[in-house]
Structure 1
Amino acid sequence: MSGNTFGTLFAVTNFGESHGPAIGCVIDGCPPGMALTEADIQGDLDRRRPGTSRHVTQRNEPDAVQILSGVYEGKTTGTPIALLIQNTDQRSKDYGQIAQQFRPGHADFTYWKKYGIRDPRGGGRSSARLTAPMVAAGAVAKKWLFEKYGTVFRGCMSQIGEIAIPFESWEHVPNNPFFAPIADVSHLEAYMDSLRKAGDSCGARIRVTASNVPVGLGEPLFDKMDADIAWAMMGINAVKGVEIGAGFASVAQRGTVHGDSITPAGFETNNAGGVLGGITTGQDLDVSIAIKPTSSIISPRQSIDVNNQPVEVVTKGRHDPCVGIRATPIAEAMLALVVIEHALRNRAQCGDVNTSADKASASEPSSPQASFL
């Protein structure tokens, strides 16, 4: 089955199924010489893994990562890095009833029509469980980018269902199960409890940023940084919309507002989301994604079976009432994978480029304009 490799210079091939013995990925193209251990990866996997609160699926997977290759004496060798995550808490019997049915909102119907066969256990290959290997690969990318450029990736939830979440501080994000940038999440807890009791689900909006991004990443016309970000984010399960910078709000902005004015000290605003003409400006990359409501719910819905007969589908098992709750580290990982791909491309094509501003900076280090450019 094609379509399972992300990237070219930093290529990540994802493998496995939700209820198979294991999932994982192979990273081909990681630069050599970087110190790397399982501990460098495990932290992000722990942020994404199931069973961490009552508001997410209670499937209890430790998601312990193993590095099988590509690292020698604690450093990357430049050869393929194989990462393996064992599946330890499958309940395939939960899916016996729907093996011959198509769940509304799921990929059951399209996989069946395309391949003539599908793995119904937890969605098989279409399961959001397959985001775990991408989070692992993203952790490797994050480490290299931080050591090379000081790039830092952060994400938070900015809306869940009908509830908009104001931004207070990044400090709050790791202190609650919603990745919310607010101190008090009691109203979010109550909202999720009521949703679960009703047998329903909701969507979410996630914001993810990258700071200290080098200027000049991105390849117009058709490999623009923002185009590749949108492509990567749409590859995440359940994502139905992507915004860069002001996004759809730019429709209501005037040109006098939307265009980010430039001063010798830098840009005054960031409506562009850190990208102009498909090339990074050096400002924060600022991305938002819209995640649809979880399709696996216990409320009965109408569908058909493999014989095209009408059926009523009730999806039992352990599912997230809002898949967006665990999506923040996934979005961070996919953004990191796009940035490292473009960083390696830019190093290959433009590593020896010196602009006039660079030359001015070398001869006049005290110049504010030179220091900005």
Structure 2
Amino acid sequence: MAGNTLGGLFRITTWGESHGEAVGVVIDGAPAGIPFTEGHVQAWLDRRKPGKGKTSTSRKEPDQAKILSGTFDGKTTGTPVSIMVANKDARSSSYADIMDLYRPGHGDITYDAKYGIRDYRGGGRASARETVGRVAAAALAHEILNAAGISVRAATVELGGVRAQARDYASMAENPYLCPDAEAAEAMDARVDEVRRQGDSLGGVVEIIADGVPAGLGEPVFEKLDAALAGALMGIGAVKGVEIGDGFEAARLTGSENNDPITPEGFASNHAGGVLAGISSGAPLVMRVGVKPIPSITREQATINTKGEPATIRTRGRHDVAAIPRVNVVCEAMVALVLVDHFLRQRAVAWNR
């Protein structure tokens, strides 16, 4: 199955299915000598794992990382790093009565069209469980980026139509939605309660900012930094749209409004979101992703079975009400993976820079 690998110099391949024995990742291209232990990985996996918060599934996975190769005495050796996380709380029986039905909003029907076979247990490879490998790999990417003074953070700026007006990032940890606006977080909480009672789900918007990114990352034509970032973020199953900088709002501006004036101290604004001509400008990278509602809902929906006959379906099992806020750390992971790859490429091109 193609399409499981991301990156050039820093290359990752994720593996595993939602209800298989385990999920994980193989990382190739990490420099030797980077401090990296299972504790580094665990700190990130704990943010992604299920069973936390009102929007999360009740599936209880410990998500304990095990590094199988590529480290010695707590440091990378320069050889492939393999990380495994066992699946402990899968309940495949929950899917037995819908194994011949295509779930609306899921990849069931498209996987069948492509491969002629699919794993109906929780979505198999199309499940959000696959993102465990991405987050585990990004734990190593973050170590490299942090040493270079580059940081990545994601914030919930909209959930269920409730928008954050403030950007108090220091307060995000004080609410379960990682929202930088305390008042909006309270309204989000009420919205989640309302929709949960209806057996439905919610979408939202996550904003990702990368600080400390040096100018010069990215390639000028087919490997543009913003194109790589957009592609990586769109590669998250729940994401249906990506904006860089002002995004679609830029289409409503004039050139004089959209251009970022350049001063001896740097850019006077950041409509471009930190990228010009596909290359980082030195300003913060600013991205937003539109996250669709979770398609697994308990409300009855129209569908067809594998024979093409009309049917109805109610999804059982344990599912999130919204991908937010668990998807936030996945967004950070995808940005970190792209940035570390382009950072290492630039070091190879111009080491003295």
With the shorter chain as reference, the TM-score category is over 0.9
Equivalent position of 2:166 in the other structure: 167
Question: Matched residues in 1 for 2:167 and 2:241: separation?
Answer: 24
2:7 is matched by which residue type in structure 1?
Answer: G
SS state at 1:311 partner: strand
Q: Distance in 1 between matches of 2:166 and 2:58?
A: 28
- Rounded to whole Å, the distance in 2 between the matches of 1:199 and 1:26 is 38
Q: Measure the CA separation in 2 of the matches of 1:309 and 1:325.
A: 37
Counterpart of 2:290 in structure 1 is 290
Match of 1:183 in 2: 182
Q: How does 1:1-373 map to 2 (within 5 A)?
A: 1-147=1-147, 149-184=148-183, 185-352=185-352
Cα distance in 1 for partners of 2:212, 2:291 equals 27
Query: For residues 54 and 210 of structure 2, what CA distance do their matches in structure 1 show?
Result: 30
Amino acid corresponding to residue 123 of structure 1 in structure 2: G
Instruction: Note the residue ranges of structure 2 that are not aligned, 5 or more in a row.
Output: none
Moved over 6 A (4+): none
**Contact kept in structure 2, 1:203 and 1:323, CA below 8 Å:** yes
Give the letter for the 2:156 counterpart.
M
* Aligned-residue offset at 1:33: 0.6
Give the 3-state SS of the residue equivalent to 1:85 in structure 2. Answer: strand
TM-score normalised to structure 2 length? 0.98
Residues 114-169 of structure 1 show CA distances to partners (whole Å, capped at 9, x for unaligned) of 1111001110000011111101111110111111x210111100101211112331
Q: In structure 2, what residue type is equivalent to 1:166?
A: Q
Amino acid at match of 2:204: A
- Matched residues in 2 for 1:178 and 1:324: separation? 7
SS of 1:345's partner is: helix
* Aligned-residue offset at 1:352: 4.4
- Greater mean alpha carbon deviation, residues 282-291 or residues 343-352: 343-352
Shift of 1:55: 2.2
- Which moves more between the two structures, 13-22 or 178-187? 178-187
Cα distance in 1, alignment partners of residues 98 and 289 from structure 2: 30
Name the % identity: 46
Q: CA deviation at 1:77?
A: 0.4
| Larger deviation, residues 199-208 vs 166-175 | 166-175
Q: Is 1:273–1:284's contact at 8 Å kept on the other side of the alignment?
A: yes
Partners of 1:304 and 1:310 within 8 A in 2? yes
Cα distance in structure 2, aligned partners of 1:174 and 1:43: 15
Matched to 1:351, the amino acid is W
Cα deviations across residues 325-363 of structure 1 (Å, max 9, x unaligned)? Answer: 21110000000000011111111122246xxxxxxxxxx
- Measured after TM superposition, the shift of residue 321 of structure 1 is 1.0
The one-letter amino acid of 2:234's match is M
Structure 2 letter corresponding to 1:72: F
| Partner AA of 1:277 in structure 2 | A
8 Å CA contact retained: 2:162, 2:187 = no
Letter aligned with residue 13 of structure 2: T
* Alpha-carbon shift at residue 174 of structure 1 (Å): 2.0
What displacement does 1:106 show? 0.4
Q: Between Structure 1 and Structure 2, how many residues are aligned?
A: 352
Task: Tell me how far apart the structure 1 counterparts of residues 275 and 55 of structure 2 sit (CA, whole Å).
Answer: 35
In the alignment, the residues of structure 2 paired with residue 86 and residue 174 of structure 1 have an alpha-carbon distance, to the nearest angstrom, of 28
Structure 1 residue ranges without an equivalent (≥5): 354-373
CA RMSD after TM alignment: 1.0
Contact 1:204 1:325 (C-alpha < 8 Å) held by counterparts:
no
Give the Cα–Cα distance (whole angstroms) in 2 for the partners of residues 168 and 270 of structure 1: 16
Look up the equivalent residue of 1:171 and give its one-letter code.
Answer: A
- What secondary structure sits across from 2:325 in the alignment? helix
Q: Contact between 2:213 and 2:282, CA under 8 Å: does it hold in 1?
A: yes
Residue 361 of structure 1 corresponds to none
Q: Which amino acid aligns with 2:47?
A: R
Write the deviation string for residues 4-54 of structure 1: whole angstroms up to 9, x where unpaired: 011121111000000111000000001111111111121111111110113
**SS at 1:324's partner residue?**
coil
- Measure, in 1, the Cα distance between the counterparts of 2:278 and 2:8: 18
Query: Given residue 167 of structure 2, which amino acid in structure 1 is its aligned partner?
Result: E
Query: d(CA) in 2 for partners of 1:280 and 1:54?
Result: 37
Q: Is the 8 A contact 2:54 2:192 kept in 1?
A: no
Q: Distance in 2 between matches of 1:46 and 1:226?
A: 29
Q: Which residue identity lines up with residue 32 of structure 1 in the other structure?
A: A
TM-score, length basis structure 1: 0.93
2:55–2:323 Cα contact (<8 Å) kept: no
